[in-house]
Amino acid sequence: ATFSNGGALRHEFDFKGVVDAIKPANISLEIATDHAIEVGAEDVMQISLSDNLPGLQFVCAAEQFHHVKTKLMQLHYQIHSAGQMYIARNYVTLSDTDLQAVTKLCEKLEEHVDVMCLYDNIL
């Protein structure tokens, strides 16, 4: 299924703006939450970035993405990554066997020239 043409799975995901920032040492989650409200983000959570740096993930409406990113930079957050993406509304847990099968399928799909990006709802 695809999202671009209103595919069957579109109702299972929300299109959001996501800004991942390196967590400044002097910023608590409480302060980051205040900043999220100030810049128009819907949510903020602590995450571990790909290089094991402590991070903060700000989620916002897709229409507010550029505004939120710009305002966070003005607040001196160092942006690690940012983009618009589909976020699952509900998540599922798979058995190890099913997870291995899905992982293999996703790897094959990602190799296909027509596949731009895969989204899933697997925990």
- Strands 13-22, 54-61: pairing is antiparallel
Q: Where are the domains of the chain?
A: 10-88, 91-123
Longest dimension (CA), the chain: 46
Query: For residue 87, what pLDDT is reported?
Result: 94
pTM of the model: 0.83
User: Cα–Cα distance between 51 and 53 in angstroms, integer?
Assistant: 6
Query: For residue 57, what pLDDT is reported?
Result: 98
Instruction: Say which CATH topology domain 10-88 has.
Output: Alpha-Beta Plaits (3.30.70)
Query: For residue 70, what pLDDT is reported?
Result: 98
The model's confidence at residue 10, banded by pLDDT at 50, 70 and 90, is confident
